[in-house]
Structure 1
Amino acid sequence: MNMHKKLLLAAVLVAPGAVIAATQAQAQTVAVADPEAAVENSKVWAAAQAEIGTTYKTQLDQAKTRGDAIAAELAPLYKKFDTNGDNQLSQAEIATARSTRASELAQIEAKEKAAQEELGRMTAQPSRARAYAIEQITAKVNEAVTNVVKTRNISVLIRPNAAFFASPAADITPAITTEIDRLFPKASITPPAGWQPGQQGQQAGAAATPAAPATGAKPKKQPESR
């Protein structure tokens, strides 16, 4: 799973209360939606990625070149443990290596960890820009979902993997994508000073919480370059 997928999964949380409140009036329809896919397919997210790719091209190109070199260096080291020759390390092969060649495997894993940290430093700026863009876009997901639910008079909304069966017509993910783009056509890729991932959502949650009343009292894989 690449980094922006992880960020999307962490950031997209459709508030059940918002959807329930939107379905009080004679709702009749059951629908499915994938909010992460709605964000990933949006024009605003595509534009943000393109801008990040342009703005940080030098860092990303350097990281890719370095990542390819690291992969080429690590591949033959891990190949020693590929006993069935399928160019992959299974859990069984890793377990065997840990029991029979633990010291050698630990050295390779330490080298891989150092390489991942190096690539992380090289891509820190574009990764931060990507996280900031995702956070801004996903902040509009609840509103987009609520608007689509209201417009289509939907009574029950579930994720695709929770449905035993759903026809393509039941999927409102594209409609949510369209609504996200309408609500938020442009995302900034420049975080303000002091910004940290998740900060916007935490602040929104704090603002939504009413004040209390006053009282008297993995299998191994080659390191990613992104």
Structure 2
Amino acid sequence: MKKMIKTVALGSAMALATVAAQPALAAKSAPAAPSDGGTIIPGLAVANLDAVVANSNAYKTAEQQRETTYKAQYDQAKARNDQLTAQIKPMVDKFNADRQAANPNQASLQQQAAAIQQLQEKGKAELQQILQPVAMSQAYVQEQIEDKLNDALKAAMKKRNVSMVLSPDSVIAFNGAAYNLNQDILNELNTAIPSAQLVPPSGWEPRQVREARAQQAAAEGAQQSTSTQPTGR
């Protein structure tokens, strides 16, 4: 019960608000350690591709434009979030008061907790539905940038004579000046895609959805092919 109480209290205060907030890819920078004067390994570099995408001109411009283009959705989500928060707060207050009783009614507390969590989940689904166009825009912009990212990486590697690129997550420390390829990739990416289309075309689906559909269609096709093959006597 204590775990459920914590979940209810925390969820009502935070879950709905975080859904209504605009999701964004946080701008990151590859960690670097100061040079210790050691030997530099030629042909090796480190790159944080998430940071490159988040700091690209196309991504940052789209983030700014989206606030205006999808203002109606943001405003609607905020208004609905405020309504849900106002609706849930007294329920949580009553729940917390009832559980402080000398002999709390455990069955009643469980019913209250279930009602609060049900309302939270319903509200979260509502807010996600309202912000669905925003999420689709973000996925569309990111996919456009990622489509150019591999070529930008290869171009940067060629110019710096790099044969291997590692992720910062796989490196404990490195000389940032000597190995950091972020800016080189970013320069190539900004040239390849200075801006991205903000609003996806009608019927567009993210790559993951398209790939999942294609895999399902292939599996169904293979199954049908197998079932229609003649059997030997």
2:86 and 2:159 mapped to 1: Cα distance? 53
State how many pairs are aligned. Answer: 170
Which has more radius of gyration? 2
Any idea what the Cα deviations from partners look like across 1:128-164, whole Å, max 9, x if unmatched?
Answer: 1221111111111111111111111112211111102
Residue 129 of structure 2: which of 115, 118, 121 is its match? 121
- Higher relative contact order (Cα pairs below 8 Å, separated by 6+ residues): 1
1:186 aligns with 2:191: no
Higher helix content, 1 or 2: 2
Q: Where do 5+ consecutive residues of structure 2 fail to align?
A: 1-17, 28-40, 97-105, 216-233
Report the aligned-residue RMSD.
3.4
| Cross-structure match for 2:157 | 149
1:152 and 1:160 mapped to 2: Cα distance? 18
Would the aligned equivalents of 1:45 and 1:133 in 2 still touch at CA under 8 Å? yes
2:57 and 2:205 mapped to 1: Cα distance? 24
1:140 and 1:134 mapped to 2: Cα distance? 10
2:189 and 2:209 mapped to 1: Cα distance? 17
2:112 and 2:123 mapped to 1: Cα distance? 17
Counterpart mapping for 1:57-206 below 5 A: 57-71=71-85, 73-74=87-88, 101-169=109-177, 170-198=179-207, 202=211
Residue 30 of structure 1: which of 9, 22, 44 is its match? 44
Q: 1:66 to 1:174 in 2, by over 3 A?
A: farther
**Which is further off, 108-117 or 72-81?**
72-81
Q: 1:55 to 1:160 in 2, by over 3 A?
A: same
Q: CA deviation at 1:70?
A: 3.1
TM-score for the superposition, normalised by structure 2: 0.62
| Cross-structure match for 2:25 | 5
Q: Name the aligned partner's letter for residue 164 of structure 2.
A: V
TM-score for the superposition, normalised by structure 1: 0.63
SS in 1 for 2:25: helix
1:55 and 1:184 mapped to 2: Cα distance? 20
2:83 and 2:145 mapped to 1: Cα distance? 34
Q: Name the aligned partner's letter for residue 143 of structure 2.
A: E
SS in 1 for 2:199: coil
Q: CA deviation at 1:168?
A: 2.1
What percent identity do the matched residue pairs reach?
29
Q: Name the aligned partner's letter for residue 139 of structure 1.
A: D
Q: CA deviation at 1:75?
A: 5.5
| Cross-structure match for 1:91 | none
Any idea what the Cα deviations from partners look like across 1:55-99, whole Å, max 9, x if unmatched?
Answer: 111221221233244345546656767xxxxxxxxxxxxxxxx99
